[in-house]
Amino acid sequence: MQKEPISSQASEAVSGPTPLVSVSITAFNAEKLLPRAVDSVLRQRIDFPIEIVIADDCSKDSTLHIARNYQERNPGVVRVVERSRNLGIQRNTYETLNECRGKYIAWLDSDDYWTDPEKLTVQVQALEADPTISVCCHFVRWVTPEGEVTREKYPSIPAGRYGLEEVLRHNFVPTPSVIFRNGIQRSLPPWYFELESLSDWPIWVLAALEGDVLLLERVMADYVLAPGSSMTSRGELFWCRMDAEFYEKIESIVPARWHRLVRAEKGKRYESMAWLLRKQGEFRASRLAALKAFRSPTLLDNFGSKTKSLLAATLREAQWRLRGQVS
């Protein structure tokens, strides 16, 4: 993957035994939440070496100071990476994953935390026992920053093994639940950095091209729905657009036999966009989205729903224009 050089400084030289698991934590203005995340890792009951890589993306609060304190108290385990400039979510995620030295990488954003001290042991055992598993994940709870549980169990699919088809249909893998085999991220294409708020899904696609995704029947982490986060503040229309953009690009890295599925899913997202835009009174944009919904899949895929969407969007725009509301 071609990428521009990134200036960063590791505040401690790499030392000690090579870790079996690297825990990747990216942080930006996370002074109130980072300690809870790091402590949840340090409470893990394990019999193998790990490292915790904390990459601060030029925070303006005391995040970096807190990270350094953890490094001082846990030498050889916690390693802090300081960015010389703000990289943003996609680039900081990618660079942090590439800082990891372990055979496996565990993903933990600074606002989330693990709730089961056996998490790493259980997942490493699964990966070590079966080389055909590329990603091991589990169920999580959704909670507020105050700890109020808003959803007891996510995702809403059964535990088990999943392949590329399920991964392409929806991003069901919760990031704080994941351990995956190091190296997968190095195959990310250049367009990865053009995406907004989708730092994980392309990695799961690449992983599913090499093996299965194992979803364990355990709830072992809390996913925090922080105010102002992309999950809670952007709205359904934003996520439909992000999904559509993902499908526009992901076709380039999956074999041709999966293109029909990608285009059908892309069409569904454009259908949803058309409906949401119509509700907002954006009738021209609704028609354009409905047109993309019609054209994206093969002719017969989604035929009934995409035809209905296009007709509804076209009719509403025509009614709007007839009322003389065109600016």
Domain boundaries along the sequence of the chain: 8-226, 236-321
Distance from C-alpha of 179 to C-alpha of 157, rounded to nearest angstrom:
19
Count of C-beta atoms within a 10 Å radius of residue 13: 6
Domain 8-226 has CATH 1.10.3720.10: no
From the centroid of its chain, how far is CA 264?
22
Identify the pLDDT of residue 2. 39
Q: Tokens standing for 148?
A: 């109020």
- Max CA-CA distance within the chain? 73
Distance from C-alpha of 11 to C-alpha of 82, rounded to nearest angstrom:
7
Name 297's Cβ contacts closer than 8 Å, sequence gap at least 6: 260, 263, 264, 266, 267, 306
Task: Using CB atoms within 10 Å of the CB of residue 123, give its burial: 0 to 12 exposed, 13 to 18 middle, 19+ buried.
Answer: buried
**Segments of the chain assigned E as strands:** 8-10, 21-27, 50-56, 78-83, 104-107, 113-114, 133-143, 149-154, 160-162, 179-181, 212-224
Identify the pLDDT of residue 182. 98
From the centroid of its chain, how far is CA 8?
23
Identify the pLDDT of residue 75. 95
pLDDT beneath 70: ranges in the chain:
1-16, 228-233, 300-301, 306, 310-313, 315-322, 324-327
Identify the pLDDT of residue 279. 87
Identify the pLDDT of residue 3. 42
Whether cis (ω within 30° of 0) applies to the bond prior to 155 is yes
Identify the pLDDT of residue 174. 96
Nearest to 115 by CA among 168, 187, 37: 37
pTM of the model: 0.88
Is 80 within 8 Å of 10 (Cβ atoms)? yes
Is 265 within 8 Å of 168 (Cβ atoms)? yes
Identify the pLDDT of residue 302. 73
Identify the pLDDT of residue 321. 66
Identify the pLDDT of residue 196. 78
